[in-house]
Structure 1
Amino acid sequence: MTIEIIPNWHPILVHFTIALLSVSVVLFLAESFVRKWKLHIQLVTVARWNLWLGSLAAIATVIAGFDAFNSVAHGSEAQHLAMLDHRNWALSTAALFIVLAIWSLSSSLRGKADFRRSKNLVFVSLMAVAGLMLTATGYKGAELVYRHGLGVIPMQVGMTAGHNHSDGGAEQGEGEGHDMKMDMSMEGGEHDEGSESSHEDTGDHQH
């Protein structure tokens, strides 16, 4: 059985990238305020692993993004410009996170994972900038789908032919209303006949 991914793997991979890198940014920001606590070491460890794994996911996401950029059909200039804008933001954001991941990994391998206060301030500040860039990139990517409709299969025309809320629905409603009126008139006729017969019976009884 062939697994069909619509439109490609990019929408799947990007969620792991955003989740891992967002958690990393939040934990690195948090650990800068609790450097004297025992919890600090755990926060740094988890933050580093999220950064490393998120950067690997970012590489896979960028590769899938290039495939999407070259394969997803787009027919307007606005859609093309939106794709270029999202691509540029994604490449810049991924590059910054990868540089920070290499910096963090190399320091960990040298046994200096816990930066000094001045170096840690620079590192955390860059992580915050990268987090803001990640937010902007995700927003622009969402606009490609929900504003410009890229990568979305259009609704089949046949679906509206059998169930139309404008013309067909109105005609159907009129037909149902007409049938209801007919039923009510028939019921009313039966009632009138019953009334006439009751009046005749009453008249006969009075005579």
Structure 2
Amino acid sequence: MLQSLPNWHPIFVHFTVALFSVAVLLYIVAHFSPPGAFGRTVRMAARVNLAVGVLFTIGTLLSGWYAYNTVPHDAASHAVMTTHRNWALIASAAFGVLAIWAVRYWLRNQREGGAFVLAAAIAATPLIVAGHYGGELVYGHGVGVQSLPDTDGHTHNGDDHDHDHDDAHEDDDHGHDDEHGDDGHDHDDPGENDDHAH
């Protein structure tokens, strides 16, 4: 296992999302393509992506379950993690059914019909939602992140000049305020002394 990763889930899940997404897109293209070599080629590519996606999803689910039970997290991230898990299970089941359905078409030497393509497009919805919550876990809650970068001294493309420029303005503002404030105190003090003198 890579030392920079708490587990293999981030690796497997990206293949799952990519392969299933490409499979759906290819099925849509094949469905609207005229009969011929192009349509058959695209449909075969869609089937291959779907099949390989199912294989990677086995690793995704196993590593995801391991991560769910081992990665340190708090109560807020646990709720998001559970939502991510539930949507991922729905997406996995949906694409598992699609894979079995596609095998039946393949064994009968038939092209997938409109109902199959519609079901594939619908199955992409829980896949997208699961991916959204997975991203929220990492970028919103820092789950699985071993360390956060120190961004104070990091600059890009001349930002260093901009930061210095801004800092100078801040210093000028503070300096102006301090001088103004001091003048105010100086003006008040003589007035107070005059009152005491009278």
* CA shift in 2, pair 1:104/1:64, >3 Å: same
Q: Output one character per residue of 1:76-124: Cα deviation in whole Å (capped at 9) or x when no partner.
A: x21111000000000000010011011112331x233413xxxx11100
Query: After alignment, is 129-138 or 21-30 more displaced?
Result: 129-138
Structure 2 residue 39 is matched with structure 1 residue 46:
no
Contact 1:104 1:113 in 2 (8 A): no
Q: How far apart are the structure 2 equivalents of 1:113 and 1:15?
A: 30
Deviant stretches of 4+, over 3 Å: none
In structure 1, what is the equivalent of residue 109 of structure 2?
Answer: 112
Q: How does 1:5-154 map to 2 (within 5 A)?
A: 5-75=4-74, 77-108=75-106, 110-115=107-112, 120-154=113-147
**Cα RMSD (Å) of the superposition?**
2.5
Could you tell me how far apart the structure 2 residues matched to 1:43 and 1:113 are?
14
- Measured after TM superposition, the shift of residue 3 of structure 1 is 4.0
SS in 2 for 1:112: coil
Q: Percent identity?
A: 41
* Letter aligned with residue 94 of structure 1: S
1:32 aligned counterpart, secondary structure: helix
Code of the aligned partner of 2:102 = S
Letter in 2 for 1:7: P
Query: 1:149-191 deviations in whole A, cap 9, x for unaligned?
Result: 10001349xx89xx8xxxxxxxxx9xxxxxxxxxxxxxxxxxx
1:20 and 1:50 in contact (8 A); partners too: yes
Q: Unaligned stretches of 5+ in structure 1? A: 164-172, 174-207
SS in 2 for 1:84: helix
- Partners of 1:140 and 1:113 lie apart in 2 by 37
Larger radius of gyration: 1
CA distance in structure 1 between the aligned counterparts of 2:97 and 2:40, rounded to whole angstroms:
22
SS in 1 for 2:32: coil
Does the C-alpha gap of structure 1 residues 155 and 19 become closer, same or farther in structure 2, counting only changes over 3 Å? Answer: closer
TM score, norm. by length of structure 1: 0.69
Work out the CA distance in 1 between the residues paired with 2:111 and 2:58.
26
Q: Structure 2 counterpart of 1:29, which letter?
A: I
Once the two structures are TM-superposed, the CA of residue 6 in structure 1 deviates from its matched residue by 1.3
Q: Equivalent residue for 1:197?
A: none
Alpha carbons of 1:35 and 1:132: their partners in 2 closer, same or farther (altered >3 Å)? farther
Q: What's the offset of the Cα at 1:136?
A: 1.3
Quick check: 1:20–1:54 contact (8 Å CA) kept in 2?
Answer: yes
Q: Summarize deviations over 1:18-57 as a string: whole Å, max 9, x none.
A: 1111110000011111133431100110000100110111
Letter in 1 for 2:77: Q
Distance in 1 between residues matched to 2:73 and 2:27, nearest whole Å: 39
